[in-house]
Amino acid sequence: MLLPKSNTPRWVVVIGDLLMSLFALFFAYLIRFDLEAKPELIREEWDILSKSIGVYILIKFFVFYFFKIHKGLIRHTSTEDFFRIVKASIFSTILIAALGMIRFNYLDGKYLVPTSVMIMELFISTAVIVGSRFVIKLIYMESTKSKEVDKKVIIYGAGISGLITKRTIEKDPQTRYKIAAFVDDNKKLSANRLEGVTIHHTDNLEKLIRKEGVNELIIAIQDPDPENRRRVVDICLSNDVTVQQVPRAKTWINGEFTTKQLSRIKIDDLLGRKPITLDEEKISNELQGQVVLVTGAAGSIGSGLVRQIAKYKPSLLVLLDQAESPIYDLQNEIKEEFPNLSFEVVIGDVRSYERMENVFQTFNPRYVFHAAAYKHVPLMEENPSEAILTNVSGTKNLVDLAIAAEVFKFVLISTDKAVNPTNVMGASKRIAEIYAQSSNELGKTKFITTRFGNVLGSNGSVIPLFQRQIDQGGPITVTDERITRFFMTIPEACQLVLEAGSMGEGGEIFVFDMGESVKIVDLAKKMIKLNGLELGKDIQIKFTGLRPGEKLYEELLAKEENTMPTHHSKILKAKVRVAGIDQMKEVNDLIEMFGSQNNMEIVAKMKAIVPEYISNNSTFEQLDK
């Protein structure tokens, strides 16, 4: 250590500042006289200065003490300390000038200090005092750094956040990182240097990793382009480089970032896509000042919709769910996040017609977003009657009440599993689609269906399951090596639901562009690497076989369907078979079968309503023979 661990006594700092001021004063005299030290000139000037040097020292002492420039810890000198020193120096110069005028006019006709000397002394003393502090700070920072390097790090992002990350790492004595380089997507920054560290374009990342022997990459861009981020992370993972990221600035503790806040990047971040462009004005015109009902409000999609709708300032937002604890948690979040929002929380079950009737009569909603449903394929395969009661009968209750209440728009949240269904859950959602779509001509209500695939991070989805299995040491269970799924983030899905709802004129089924399907086993492998583990060494993947009713590949459109483009590039309109009165009657007959609790009879009826429903890996396959 070049500096003592304990703080320097304050009196030492005071004396040091005064000595540096005196040095600045004498150096200013030397400059004034062109650095010529003639004895007679020195005697003449000293004769004048000797009568005022004491006043000069007293002024400096009291002004410096008043501005408390000695109070700051020198090893942690900041810009605030810098401005305090500048103000103290200027104020002391003004006092010296004022007392000099008094001496000149009322005493011996001499100034305390010549004007040119006084001005030069101001700049020299300020520079010396400030400079000495920053030199000491630099020495301290260097002396506290560990000379051992554990990791060579690349910072992705050469902007403000990247610079803050570099400085945070360098001033943290606990980290033994060496910043090897910056990488950035902006080619104009390539070959420049940021505080001595070279900036490279991301195209050179792989070469840079191998050349520098990099162990870790830190993503320090607050809103990186999803495609670029995915490409950078893939390069790192293929080269066994750990990836961490800087959290959003609003989450920094007391507005400051520390190395302890660095976190591993999540798989959700890699599967997300570019932000969606919405017709904000149209959505706002539809929802602002209206009463909006969201069923299943405590669920993943339901709560996401609530947060999105709240931004458009409805006159009242009604949150309906039967799950007491989750809706309570959502209630508290909404109160905190949207303090001016008018909303009501209703505990209720969509399967109860009387309870739903009371909700419609009490609040008279103008818009309904129906997200309440049972969604887990294996559970519904074992409990078909419950799938019918919630997904079909619950939807029928709301559809019928919406028509009676002359609701303007009713948006049904459906699923890709409703296309060529192979399981009870998917078939029940397809039947709900049929009932809602067929009811479009029965009243003034416009019924709109939205259909999309798996949602990242939703309750019970594969990603939280994999993460839990990784945290427990494995193994990760995948049903089949070939299985693929479409994925979409919760905000993305909810934004598209609102957009589709605003553009819908009634009777449409809107299909969302889900991007490319992802192999689940590849997802598991990437999550293992993101957690800093090695497949086969630290954790295993176990294949368990397809679950009852599970598909290898999900579809968004049935064979008999085709699509038409809309004004939004990520939303397509499906042209589907229109259900007739006979199918509507069969839906009612299906609901009445709930009392029998005969699973075979119930599923057989479902297959009659949805002819394309062919069971897969299920006890109900016998009904297809």
- Residue 272's pLDDT is 63
- What local confidence, expressed as pLDDT, does residue 369 receive? 96
Look at residues 559, 435, 463, 450 and name the one whose alpha carbon lies nearest to residue 513.
450
For 79-196, list the strands marked E by DSSP. 151-156, 177-184, 193-194
Q: What is the pLDDT of residue 58?
A: 83
- For residue 413, pLDDT beyond 90: yes
Measure Cα distances from 165 to 61, 245, 252, 564 in Å.
39, 10, 12, 47
Considering only 347-356, 396-405, 509-518, 537-546, which range has the smallest mean pLDDT?
509-518
Interval 21-32: pLDDT, tens:
778 777 777 777
282-287 CB contacts, 8 Å cutoff, 24+ apart: 282/502, 282/503, 283/312, 283/498, 283/499, 283/502, 284/312, 284/313, 286/367, 286/409, 286/501, 286/502, 287/312, 287/313, 287/314, 287/367, 287/498
Tell me what pLDDT residue 160 has.
86
What confidence score (pLDDT) does residue 533 get?
82
**Cα separation of 120 and 192, whole Å?**
36
**pLDDT at position 559 over 60:** no
Kindly report which listed range (23-32, 243-252, 381-390, 557-566) carries the lowest average pLDDT score: 557-566
Q: Comparing 92 with 287, which gets the higher pLDDT? A: 287
- In angstroms, rounded to a whole number, what is the distance separating the alpha carbons of residues 52 and 517? 84
- What is the b/e burial string over 313-330, where b = at least 16 CB atoms within 10 angstroms of the residue's CB? bbebbbbbbbbeebbeeb
Instruction: Give all domains of the chain, ordered by start, each with its CATH number.
Output: 10-144 (no CATH), 151-265 (3.40.50.720), 280-621 (3.40.50.720)
Q: With a cut of 90, say whether residue 331 has pLDDT above it.
A: yes
Q: Which residue has the higher pLDDT, 519 or 142?
A: 519
- 83/137 Cα distance (integer angstroms): 16
Is there a contact between 18 and 63 (Cβ–Cβ < 8 Å)? no
Mean pLDDT of the chain: 82
Question: Please, where are the H alpha helices in 364-423?
Answer: 377-382, 384-387, 395-404
Cα(603)–Cα(266) distance, rounded to whole angstroms? 39
Q: What is the pLDDT of residue 39?
A: 65
| Predicted local confidence at residue 42, as pLDDT | 61
CA-nearest of 430, 417, 338 to 388 is 430
Q: Is the pLDDT of residue 606 over 70?
A: yes
2 has pLDDT over 50 = no
Q: Assign 3-class secondary structure to 435-491.
A: HHHHHHHCCCCEEEEEEECEEECCCCCHHHHHHHHHHCCCCEEECCCCCEECEEEHH
Whether the model pTM is above 0.95: no
Note the pLDDT of residue 166.
Answer: 84
Going along 537-604, which residue ranges are E strands? 541-543, 562-565, 571-575
pLDDT, position 316: 95
Residue 115 has pLDDT above 80, yes or no: no
pLDDT at position 1 over 50: no
- CB of 350 within 8 A of CB of 295? yes
> For position 77, what pLDDT does the model report?
65
pLDDT given at position 43: 67
What is the pLDDT at residue 252? 67
Bond before 475 cis per omega within 30 degrees: yes
Q: Is residue 75's pLDDT more than 70? A: no
Contacts of residue 541, Cβ cutoff 8 Å, sequence gap at least 6: 474, 475, 476, 477, 478, 521, 524, 525, 535
Q: Is 474 within 8 Å of 528 (Cβ atoms)? A: no
What are the tens digits of pLDDT across the range 166-214? 888 877 766 777 888 888 888 888 888 888 888 899 888 889 988 888 8
Residues noted as catalytic: 417
Residue 151 has a pLDDT of: 79
- Region of poorest pLDDT, from 6-15, 396-405, 533-542: 6-15
Query: pLDDT per residue over 486-524, tens digit each?
Result: 777 788 888 888 888 888 888 888 888 777 778 888 888
Q: Is 309 left (phi over 0), alpha (psi -120 to 50) or beta?
A: alpha
Report the pLDDT value the prediction gives residue 578, as an integer from 0 to 100.
64
Residue in 339, 286, 356 with CA at minimum distance from that of residue 314: 286
Are 153 and 169 in contact by the 8 Å Cβ rule? The answer is: yes
Tokens of 416: 């890709």
* Per-residue pLDDT at 262: 76
The more confidently predicted of residues 79 and 151 is 151
In the chain, % of residues over pLDDT 70 = 84
Residue 433 has what pLDDT?
92
pLDDT of residue 219: 87
